[in-house]
Amino acid sequence: MAVVRVIGRDGSKQDLDVANGGQLMDALRDASTGVQGTCGGMMSCGTCHVYVDPSWVDRLPPKSEDESAMLEAIGELVELKPTSRLSCQIAVDDDIEGLCVEIAPPV
């Protein structure tokens, strides 16, 4: 289990205990943070977009070409940052203990 700090769209902060073995998107959706995950983690909707704390960017696996393409596609609708990620592509394990993400504006 890992604890992930979540900054809501309204600036509120909460720490989530996230079970290992799934995707961060699931935990964020289940905690009613505003993440929808409409496509179920297939990288086809962008509704799980988050901004990763800059100190964590290099600690996560790099974006795949598909993730980068989906982020580029939603860039016409929402602000992208260098730290933009799809939370469906962040695997939950002990290595993400202390990760901080901000929920991006809705797509």
Residue pLDDT, tens place only, 5-48: 999 999 999 999 999 999 999 999 999 999 999 999 999 999 99
- 3-class secondary structure per residue, 4-52: EEEECCCCCEEEEEECCCCEHHHHHHHCCCCCCCCCCCCCCCCCCEEEE
Q: Which residue type, as a one-letter code, is found at position 80?
A: L
Residue pLDDT, tens place only, 63-98: 999 999 999 999 999 999 999 999 999 999 999 999
pLDDT for the residue numbered 94: 95
Model pTM score: 0.95
The CATH fold of domain 2-103: Ubiquitin-like (UB roll) (3.10.20)
pLDDT for the residue numbered 7: 98
Q: What share of the chain is helix, strand, coil (3-state, %, to 5)?
A: 25, 25, 50
